[in-house]
Amino acid sequence: MKTLITLAWRNLWRNKRRTMITISSVMFAVLLAGALLSFAGGFQKQMLETMVRQETGYLQIQDAMYLDEPTMDHLFEYGDGVKDAIEPFDNEIQYTVPRIQGFSLAAKEITSKPAMVTGIVPDKEDKLRNLSDNIVKGKMFSGNNNYAVVGKGLAEMLDLCIGDTLTLIGQGFQAMSASGRFEIGGIMEFSLPEQNNTMVFLPLQVAQWYFAADNRLTNLILMIDDEEKAGYLAEAIQEKLDDEWYAARTWQELMPDIVGLREMQDTVYSLIAWIFYIIVGFGIFGTILNMLYERMREFGILLSIGMKRLQLGMVSLTETFIIGMIGVIAGVIISFPVMYLFQIYPIKFTGEMANYILDLGMEPVFPFLVDINIFLNQALAFFIITMIIGLYSINKINRIRIIEAARN
């Protein structure tokens, strides 16, 4: 085996230029494919984190029927049963975020607009999404404050200023009438127009009073340090809850559209990466095929003096494998620091592109993802490609006619 490897190595460097061109094509393919997958992974991670923090969290406890019918009739009681169910997992749950929310009509004098009224605990919301940082006028409520904080778009549509009175009319728990008048204490601005034009925040207890739902919530968000634990924790917590009244749901259940989008993106990025692989594979194939025809007389002589076809085929296979592995290793060595650099100093978009990304509710900053699986996938893909090409060269050598090859 050592002799075969030595022969393969010497054969490669007979034509250094051809070998270096082939290795370079593999190296740049690995670099480009790795950069694409790293960027895609970073984009997906940031998109998920943004959606999780803005919307659902990684895990939620809800009323068993709330997902199918998200109405005020399906609020759950946040009592000892729920607290006892999550207590054994305190080490894995970073913090909880209780919310109660429902649609109402927001009005000032004769002008009215639909609004999403959300009762929150400011300190916990700030842990989740830094909500107080969005305040542009006034301040966020705290302690015993009972004023409202509204979105900038809604404030402009109703001509609301700090100190004005906002009237809310809606439906509370179990068809109770919900109505109240609240002083405006703060105005906040969101990147998403829908949030800007509809959001009204109240202290949690004030919102529970408004909806006639004492000690009830629409959802209790559980934030964890690792999204991979969400499924396990949901099952474990669900075992301690009454299935008839409560449901522990993961972000995948709450946002199936995002799951579908991620799967589609994975498919597209994998397809593009394999296009790189195929292009480079044909380049390697062309090089190996050219090498075979150039050395046909050499092969004929070797076979005529007693070298076995299998040994000759293994030499050719080894040559192909060495070219592929050198290219992959060089590509990984170069791409790792590049990806790491873009992780520390991410790509920042400006101008219209930045505004478009902000409209999607995301920061216009995209860090690359440095993941060992990206590099392992490159190595595996090129191992498969080189082995296929090597098998072709073995087949070609097995079909050589010794007399004809020796005469060429």
* Region of poorest pLDDT, from 183-187, 231-235, 306-310: 306-310
Q: What is the pTM of this model?
A: 0.70
Predicted confidence at residue 403, as pLDDT, reads 63
Q: Are 156 and 130 in contact (CB under 8 A)?
A: no
Q: Which residues contact 11 (CB under 8 A, 6 or more apart)?
A: 291, 295, 315, 319
- Helix axes 256-294 and 16-51, enclosed angle (nearest 10): 180
Predicted confidence at residue 151, as pLDDT, reads 92
Q: With 70 as the cut, is the pLDDT of residue 41 above it? A: yes
Predicted confidence at residue 361, as pLDDT, reads 61
37: left (phi over 0), alpha (psi -120 to 50) or beta: alpha
CA distance 326 to 19: 10
For the stretch 81-107, pLDDT in tens is 888 888 888 888 888 999 999 999 999
For the stretch 308-367, pLDDT in tens is 777 777 777 788 788 878 888 888 888 888 888 888 887 777 777 677 666 666 667 777
Convert 302-327 to b/e letters by CB count within 10 Å (16 or more is b).
bbeeeeebeebbbbbbbbbbbbbbbb
Q: Which residues contact 404 (CB under 8 A, 6 or more apart)?
A: 300
Q: With 80 as the cut, is the pLDDT of residue 258 above it? A: no
Could you give the dihedral angle defined by the CA atoms of residues 135, 141, 143 and 144, in that order, rounded to the nearest 10 degrees? 170
The three-state secondary structure class of 212 is coil
The three-state secondary structure class of 364 is coil
Q: With 80 as the cut, is the pLDDT of residue 8 above it? A: no
For residue 406, name the pLDDT band (cuts at 50, 70, 90).
low
